[in-house]
Amino acid sequence: MKNLLEVKNLKVYYYTREGVVKAVDQASFSIKKGETVGLVGESGSGKSTLGLSILKLVPSPGRIVGGELFFDGKDLAKLDNKQMRKLRGRWISMVFQDPMASLNPLMRVGDHLTETIKTHEKVTHKDAEKRALLLLDEVGISLERFKDYPHQFSGGMRQRVGIALAIALNPNLVIADEFTSSLDVIVQSQILSLMNNLKRSHNMGMILISHDISLVSEIADKVALMYAGQIVEFAEVNAFFEEHLHPYSERLLNSVPNIQLSDQNLSYIPGMPPDLIHPLKGCRFYPRCSYATNTCREKEPPLVEIETGYMVKCFRYD
């Protein structure tokens, strides 16, 4: 099956007063239709920037400075704003952490959905409204709430509205950026289950951006782990959790508490988070890696394909 989205050596830099922040510095991964890829990383890893750059929504002073973004064969990096606007919402859409950010507080929720549909498709107002109602039903909101305003909804319900907006036009790809981080664990479980069902019924690809690797293990098909602006490991989910080949993956998994284990030995990663303005010339994980060698300090590790579909950026596997 052809790739729905292919990110190749993407570079996104922020030009700030303090210097150039290399938020994403040569990241590569791919996703097929109907697949869920979990993009995992801690704060500063570049995962949110990567997500935004797919929709070319990186805020100033950020810019895409290199690499390729192939969506259905087209290189998004070369499209201008007008062309991107046609894509956004219709072919690729986004769900944010804070649902209020995407909802107009002065607009009734049903109207917002209706308008979104009408903007991208030539349908009558009546038809658009009918579809909006169906959408609310699909995401589990009772239809009488069509005329409610965003502030009248609870956090979980608002997130459902955000999801409804994101799938309204049947996009091929949905990017969800920490979209359950502000929710309690039970509501999170409901929303994840909803997304899973929607993904299957709409045959969408999904990029789930999260700092929570346990969350990703619950619904992702593939995992892409980011560190210092690069994707250091990209593999099918079961393989990732079994092998965790990259030293960072190993350390990260050891620092996550597992509710099913007793007597866990939690560890942490020593050292400081990476400097994105002055990245190291060799491997960026070098100062915190227990397997580090001199080569690691001098040269950047290559992205090695261990087996089909399993990539690791580390000299140990070269």
Q: Where along the sequence are the contacts to another protein (CB under 8 A)?
A: 18, 42-43, 154-157, 184-190, 193, 211-215, 217-218, 220, 237-238, 241, 251-253, 255-260, 262, 264, 266-269, 272-273
3 state SS of 34: coil
Q: Give the whole-angstrom CA distance, residue 254 versus residue 224.
A: 17
Give Cα separations from 145 to 85, 108, 112, 132 (angstroms).
Answer: 29, 9, 13, 12
Closest to another protein by CB, 13 vs 227, is 227
Question: Are residues 64 and 188 in contact, defined by beta-carbon separation less than 8 angstroms?
Answer: no
Q: Please state the closest distance from residue 240 (CB atom) to another protein, in A.
A: 8
Closest to another protein by CB, 101 vs 185, is 185
Core vs surface per residue 48-58: b (16+ CB within 10 A) or e: bbbbbbbbbeb
Closest to another protein by CB, 267 vs 308, is 267
Q: Please state the closest distance from residue 151 (CB atom) to another protein, in A.
A: 14
Angle between helix 125-138 and helix 155-167 axes, rounded to 10 deg: 130
Closest to another protein by CB, 184 vs 318, is 184
3 state SS of 194: helix
Nearest-5° Cα angle at 304, 43 to 173 = 55
Closest to another protein by CB, 213 vs 276, is 213
Q: Please state the closest distance from residue 272 (CB atom) to another protein, in A.
A: 8
Q: Give the whole-angstrom CA distance, residue 271 versus residue 237.
A: 28
Q: Please state the closest distance from residue 90 (CB atom) to another protein, in A.
A: 31
Q: Please state the closest distance from residue 41 (CB atom) to another protein, in A.
A: 10
Please enumerate in sequence order all residues whose Cβ is within 8 A of that of 99, keeping only pairs 6 or more positions apart, or say none.
150, 155, 158, 159, 161, 162
Closest to another protein by CB, 117 vs 237, is 237
Closest to another protein by CB, 106 vs 259, is 259
Q: Which amino acid is at 9?
A: N
Number of Cβ atoms within 10 Å of the Cβ of 110: 21
Q: Give the whole-angstrom CA distance, residue 233 versus residue 301.
A: 12
Q: Residue for token digits 């909802």?
A: 103
Give Cα separations from 277 to 51, 248, 281 (angstroms).
Answer: 20, 21, 12
Q: Please state the closest distance from residue 163 (CB atom) to another protein, in A.
A: 15
Q: Please state the closest distance from residue 155 (CB atom) to another protein, in A.
A: 8
Q: Give the whole-angstrom CA distance, residue 288 versus residue 269.
A: 7
Closest to another protein by CB, 219 vs 304, is 219
Question: Are residues 34 and 201 in contact, defined by beta-carbon separation less than 8 angstroms?
Answer: no
Q: Please state the closest distance from residue 156 (CB atom) to another protein, in A.
A: 5
Q: Please state the closest distance from residue 127 (CB atom) to another protein, in A.
A: 31
Closest to another protein by CB, 42 vs 300, is 42
